[in-house]
Amino acid sequence: MKTAPSVEPLIELLKLEQLDDNLFRGQSGDIGTRSVYGGQVLGQALRAAGYTVDGRRPHSLHAYFLRAGDFTRPIIYEVEKARDGRSFTSRRVVAIQGGQPILNLAASFQTEQEGIEHQAEMPDIPPPEQCGGHDDNRRQWLERLPPERRANVERNQPFEFCSFEPPPYVDPQPRPAVRHIWFRANGALPDDAGLHEAMLAYASDFGPLMTALYPSGINPMLPSVRMASLDHAMWYHRPFRVDQWLLYALESPNASGSRGFTRGSVFTQDGTLVASTAQEGMIRVRSRKASE
């Protein structure tokens, strides 16, 4: 299967170099943010944990973002084999850059088993074919980057995104804290379940914090606003492919204490719930008056 050129850089980012039995090294990419994108570290950490597990798929991960990473430097992933049980396997991963931990992750893997079944209903959202596209939103983001970084980001667009609710940096006005994002990999991917799981972890960090901004009407591009993911949890429910359309349904039930909290559900186009997320992030605004 031939992979689209725009997806290949992300596939390479998620291929870690093994340095020792439980030690791996990953490279970093620039997506236009001030520091290394949290979803990249999340996906690489899950990939590192998965490299030490045979015959079991991840069903949950819980991560804390400890420090901002540098997208110009590689990241070391140290895996601890916490437990190998009859049905479940537990791993702990520390992502290290410059001698300092930047992320702690715990992940659990399970053998395939049958049991009771139920799921939440998919929101009644028009299909991706009726979505207006993401190009204008992305253009407004890219215009704020230095020319040399803009060229790099434009070359590497591994995902197509389409949202019916504009991001707050495009239309910063108060609105309900709900967002629906269709997304898929920008090309065909290999039949590698671990890669699809890591890519979903990567993509799951897009959107939650922006959703928490909706009720306040704050423009995150203002210099007075500082945002960063603090922790991220994810549960894998059913098989999926990231090169097929997925709907990320997000809601933010709370913001307080300079933090915003968001829950997410990931559905296939036929309505199957394949994953759930929860994230809390730091949102600091130095002066509301200066933001207006």
Chain segment 189-231, per-residue pLDDT in tens: 999 999 999 999 999 999 899 999 999 998 887 888 999 999 9
Report whether 65 contacts 6 (CB < 8 A). Answer: no
Catalytic residue among 28, 40, 108, 279: 279
Choose among 87, 82, 86: nearest CA to 107: 82
Chain segment 60-76, per-residue pLDDT in tens: 999 999 999 999 999 99
Catalytic residue among 40, 44, 205, 243: 205
Spatial distance between the Cα atoms of 163 and 248, rounded to a whole number of angstroms: 9
- Show the tokens assigned to 190: 């290999």
DSSP state of 152: H
**Does 229 qualify as catalytic in the annotation?**
yes
Report whether 206 contacts 236 (CB < 8 A). Answer: no
What's the chain's length in residues? Answer: 292
DSSP state of 123: P
Backbone dihedral region for residue 148 (phi beyond 0: left; psi -120 to 50: alpha; all else: beta): alpha
Query: What distances in angstroms separate CA 249 from CA 24, 174, 209, one per listed residue?
Result: 33, 19, 13
Report whether 45 contacts 95 (CB < 8 A). Answer: yes
Chain segment 12-25, per-residue pLDDT in tens: 999 999 999 999 99
**Does 44 qualify as catalytic in the annotation?**
no
Residue 151: the pLDDT is 59
Confidence of residue 7 (pLDDT cuts 50, 70, 90): confident
Share of the chain above pLDDT 70, in %: 88
Helix (H, G, I), strand (E, B) or coil at 290: helix
pLDDT beyond 50 at 107: yes
Instruction: For strands 178-185 and 159-163, give the pairing.
Output: antiparallel
Rounded average pLDDT over 102-118: 96
Catalytic residue among 163, 229, 252, 265: 229
Query: What distances in angstroms separate CA 139 from CA 133, 135, 147, 170, 217, one per listed residue?
Result: 12, 6, 13, 10, 20
Q: Read off the pTM.
A: 0.90
Write down the CATH superfamily of domain 8-111+130-291.
Answer: Acyl-CoA thioesterase, double hotdog domain (2.40.160.210)
Residue 133: the pLDDT is 56
Lowest-confidence range among 16-25, 123-132, 149-158, 244-253? 149-158
